[in-house]
Structure 1
């Protein structure tokens, strides 16, 4: 009787073991990815080349103010440019030639 209970308990606990193994694998993957990004990606310096303010209406009737920016930077020894909302790259105030 004890052997039968052991078999049943093993099958009842198997989903919990599989969930625990899956969560451990996910945590390991997230930690590994974060470490890879920290060591493999290098911070770059961007220079603001153009700034203009904007105001947009949101769905709830409020307005959001911000800046549109154009920046230049060097990545892998190639000059690059980007333009868009400043808040997308963490800029909330800027002037031309800001680094």
Structure 2
């Protein structure tokens, strides 16, 4: 049983991480729907581009070296000291929307705003942060079936392992009236009563 618990420990850890990630994403999306303000956005442009990122010497986060058509991203010169270039493909575009009568424009990777499969001229509902209108999100649950499946499997694995590791009391063993402790005194049955008098064992 101990070996089984040790073998299941890494899977329980991964299940807990997946559970925390799904809970965080779901809670964040719900918060955007309830606390942020809705607005109608217009897609100004949408195109598939490649982005080359690198690791700066004096920064922890990666920076963007160049962005453009994928066929032109083969020979990008990194800034001095930049290392580990990576080329990623994505859909980039621009969105226009109003926040309390003030026009706003957002540009970047559309997936960062929760926007997918759109073309120039499309209109869609977005939610923006009242304290920072440049932060927008579609607040749509994407891939909910796969997320729900992962959530159920992870939660089930954690519940099973918790039940497996939970200490349980052992039921006493039926010894037919005899004590189960080898160091205890031998069992002596009670004396029989005959004519109101107790009688021990032996011949009458």
Give TM-score, length-normalised by structure 2: 0.27
Please state how far the C-alpha of 1:50 moved relative to its aligned partner. 1.1
Deviations 1:59-78 (A, max 9, x none): 9xx96432111010000111
Whether 1:86 and 2:110 are equivalent positions in the alignment is: yes
**Within 2, Cα distance between the matches of 1:64 and 1:92?**
17
Give every structure 1 segment of 4 or more consecutive aligned residues whose post-TM-superposition deviation is greater than 6 Å. Answer: none
Please state how far the C-alpha of 1:93 moved relative to its aligned partner. 1.7
Whether 1:55 and 2:50 are equivalent positions in the alignment is: yes
Tell me the SS of whatever aligns to 2:40: coil
Please state how far the C-alpha of 1:56 moved relative to its aligned partner. 4.3
Matched pairs, number: 66
Tell me the SS of whatever aligns to 2:89: strand
Unmatched segments (≥5 aa) in structure 2? 1-29, 55-85, 124-204
Within the candidate set 40, 46, 52, 2:41 is matched to 46
Which of the pair is proportionally richer in helix? Answer: 1
Whether 1:70 and 2:94 are equivalent positions in the alignment is: yes
RMSD over aligned Cα atoms: 2.9
**Within 2, Cα distance between the matches of 1:58 and 1:65?**
11
CA contact (8 A) 1:66 1:92 kept: no
Structure 1 or 2, whichever has the larger Rg, is: 2
Tell me the SS of whatever aligns to 1:94: coil
Change over 3 Å in CA distance of 1:98–1:39 after alignment to 2 = same
**Within 2, Cα distance between the matches of 1:40 and 1:57?**
35
Change over 3 Å in CA distance of 1:55–1:42 after alignment to 2 = same
**Within 1, Cα distance between the matches of 2:117 and 2:109?**
11
Unmatched segments (≥5 aa) in structure 1? 1-33
Please state how far the C-alpha of 1:91 moved relative to its aligned partner. 1.6
